[in-house]
Structure 1
Amino acid sequence: MTMPVLTSRPAHPFLSGAANLVPGLLLTGGIAAVAFGLRQLPGLQLFSPLILAIVLGMALHNLVGTPVVAKPGVTFTLRRILRAAIVLLGLQLTAAQIVEVGVAGVAVIALTLVATFLFTVRLGRLLGVDAPLAQLIAAGTSICGASAVIATNTVTRAPDEDVAYAVACVTVFGSIAMFLYPLLPGLLHLTPRAYGLWAGASIHEVAQVVAAAYQDGQAAGEFGTIAKLTRVMMLAPVVLTLGFLASRRAGAGTETARPPVPWFVLGFIAMIAFNSLVTVPAEMKTVLVGLTTFLLSMALAAMGLETDIRRLRAKGLRPLLLGLAAFAFVGSFSLMLVMTIG
């Protein structure tokens, strides 16, 4: 009598694919958690977890190496989790914030953004900086730092080394602004509201704006934060426009070419609309803000895990000079507009 042979059923493709993601998700999540922990140490509170996460990821990759088994999860984090985090970012913004800034304030922010972006891209061309890298530095300087860099890269599709370089640029010069700006309102005879608008319209990261603006008092801090969040709102149209222009260049001469629709940006806009119409409980909003920052930190950790410092060195000093020039332009141009409107 023959015994039946028991054969194991193959794992479902979805379950098998999900299992492949686990090592990379654990690695990027672990790096993000360490970044949050390091931020509690003296001297590191001024750096956002996003910046610490990409530095840790780069250190691990270049000193030890990214494990092969983690590659699928790292790629998933860069693509899917990044987009989910940008959608959630919309819950931190409302249309009412634009009303509070006022027409003149919004005009200052919008004009500064457009002028800085165009100036940086144009100067990058003159300096011989690769167009995708120049666009990333332009987005990070003109909109909202590292978040804008990684969001813009979803349409520019620059190498990871370009993204890391751009993040480094906006981090360095945003940090300089954070320490420099609080020394200037008295010298420039700026009111708290004018100083807050200037800080919100020109400093790179949200956290850097908060740190700099509150140095001039509560009123300057609150208005600077609102002005900065209004500027973050403009991330969506910028990414949509860049995606459209990229598709036009790629599909030049073909009638069937269609611009790719970055659905995550539409989700970002939808979340702003939702947050403007529905009151989200403060406790839930606190949790969502923390979750969004953590997911963005995971994405930056993944970026670091795919960044080779040797390739960064090969970029040379020209992109750094471009970042410096963009920093000087955004500060001086926005200050001119703020002083013009009084």
Structure 2
Amino acid sequence: MPLPDQRLSPSVPVPVPGEPPVRQASVWPGIGLAAVAVVVAMVVNRFVPAFSPAVIAVLSGAVLANLVAVAASSSGPAGADNTGAGRAGVVWERFRPGLAFVSRRVLRVAIALLGLQIAMPQVLALGWQTLVIVVAATGVTFAVTPLIGRRLGLSPGTSLLVATGVSICGAAAVAAMRESADGTDDDDAAAALSVVVLYGSAAIVAVPALAGLLGLSPAQLGVWTGAAVHEVAQVAAIGAASGVLAAAVTVKLARVILLAPLVALTAVRARRPDTAPQTRREGRRPPVMPLFVAAFLVMVAVRSTGWVPEPVTEAVPQVTNVLMAAALFGLGTGIDVRKLIKGGRAVLLGAIATGLIAAVSLTGVAVLL
């Protein structure tokens, strides 16, 4: 039996003439489950800070959903209605509307609030050399990875989301692009999220080791870490252990800003008639910039004015972490591990993309710093 369907837009009940109206399922069970997952993710993060609550939530969502799938499939059709295993799939259905809600609505709020963590004066203070490194590494990786994915025979959606996650800011970028771009589905997102977790975690060990072998200065290590590593939490883990925390995280946030223009660029390309047959058939065109991405830019502008009170700037990262963890838990429940095991080409693409952004940024560090 396949994994319970986790489409992000639950179907709306259609009333039947002569029968009482069908009540739409409540979102609260799914929201409650996501809240429990967030608490667990926060607790685990306290003991393993290298893994952000968002990444832990993705993993827990995938584990839970696949356990339900195994339990449901073990009962078989004949026992689906009278065994505990068979009831697992039925009970899971109660959570779907709430998980769809957090995967979409809560995600949009979290992405918008992410902008309040970025102050442009701090980013510009990095200097033109660092900014050139960030833009070059991100741009080259984002542009080249889909081309390599096509050569490997991967779908355009998988290639796009892997490129987004590796080049910009990990799981949050994957979720934002998944929400914005047509032609991507849950399998594409699952592959990209797995790549981010796998290679971003490996970077926590590999980057400091390679920096030592290459004789990089602390300033060079800070820039390379921020320009090459996927997740903010992974960057912070390397920075804290190496004494370059502030510089590495600031460089990383400069990459996060690029989320908005790259999402907008993707949307503009999707509006072209020759690249959007599906949306043309449906009589609609994707927006140039989704509203929540525009809100992200507005939040960056507000934070850059310096008018945001300090208590707010201190609280925003925690609030954003909670909302992002809830959203990515919902997205994680759409990951089918069995499909990932069979789809080794996405893992290979992730390795190539990770090596590409590391090589481009390291070259920039060696030449410009």
TM-score (norm 2): 0.82
Q: 1 CA distance for matches of 2:235 and 2:337?
A: 29
Offset of residue 242 of structure 1: 0.8
Aligned to 1:340: 367
- 2:333 is the counterpart of 1:329: no
Q: What residue number does 2:29 align with?
A: 23
| Per-residue deviation, 1:252 | 9.7
Change (3 A) 1:244 1:251: farther
- The answer to whether structure 1 residue 155 and structure 2 residue 180 are counterparts is yes
Alignment of 1:297 onto 2:322: no
Residues 1:237 and 2:243 are matched in the alignment: no
Residue in structure 2 matched with residue 276 of structure 1 by the alignment = 304
For 1:186 and 1:84, locate their aligned partners in 2 and report how far apart those are by CA, in whole Å: 40
Which residue number in structure 2 is paired with residue 54 of structure 1? 58
| Contact 2:38–2:57 (8 Å) recurs in 1 | yes
Task: Verify the 8 A CA contact 1:58 1:308 in the aligned structure 2.
Answer: yes
The residue aligned with 2:82 is none
CA distance in 1, matches of 2:361, 2:63: 36
Matches within 5 A, 1:71-86: 71-86=96-111
Corresponding residue of 1:309: 337
Note closer, same or farther for the CA distance 1:175–1:284 as it changes in structure 2 (3 Å cut).
same
Pick the structure with more helix per residue. Answer: 1
> 1:259: how far off?
4.2
**Paired residue for 2:294, among 234, 243, 266?**
266
C-alpha displacement of 1:253: 11
After superposition, the C-alpha distances for 1:291-320 in whole angstroms (9 at most, x for unaligned) are 111111111110122333233334x21110
Does the aligned pair in 1 maintain the 2:62–2:336 contact within 8 Å?
A: yes
Query: Where does residue 214 of structure 1 map in the other structure?
Result: 240
Q: 1:334 to 1:34 in 2, by over 3 A?
A: same
Question: Counterpart of 1:70?
Answer: 95
* Alignment partner of 1:247 is 2:280: no
AA aligned opposite 2:216: L
Corresponding residue of 1:174: 200
Change (3 A) 1:277 1:258: same
SS of equivalent to 1:184:
helix
Q: CA RMSD in A?
A: 2.1
User: Deviation at 1:193?
Assistant: 1.5
Fraction of identical pairs, as percent: 37
How far off its partner does 1:244 sit? 1.5
CA distance in 1, matches of 2:116, 2:197: 24
Distance 1:47 1:137 in 2: 19
CA deviation string 1:21-67 (max 9, x = no partner): 211111112111111122233xx332111111111111211213562
Given candidates 122, 143, 163, the residue that maps to 2:147 is: 122
The equivalent position to 1:136 in structure 2, one of 152, 156, 161, is 161
Give, in angstroms, the shift of residue 326 of structure 1.
0.8
C-alpha deviation, 1:204, in angstroms? 0.6
Q: What residue ranges of structure 2 are gaps of 5+ in the alignment?
A: 1-20, 69-88
| Partners of 2:225 and 2:279 in 1: CA distance | 44
Partner of 2:223: 197
Amino acid in structure 1 at the alignment position of 2:360: F
Length, aligned pairs only: 321
Inter-partner Cα distance in structure 1 for 2:60 and 2:45: 12
Say yes or no: does 1:96 pair with 2:124. Answer: no
Q: How many Å separate the matches in 2 of 1:35 and 1:253?
A: 37
Alpha-carbon distance change, 79 to 253 in structure 1, aligned in 2, over 3 angstroms: closer
TM score, norm. by length of structure 1: 0.88
SS of the residue 2:216 aligns to = coil
Question: Corresponding residue for 2:81?
Answer: none
Q: In terms of mean alpha carbon deviation, does 71-80 or 151-160 score higher?
A: 151-160
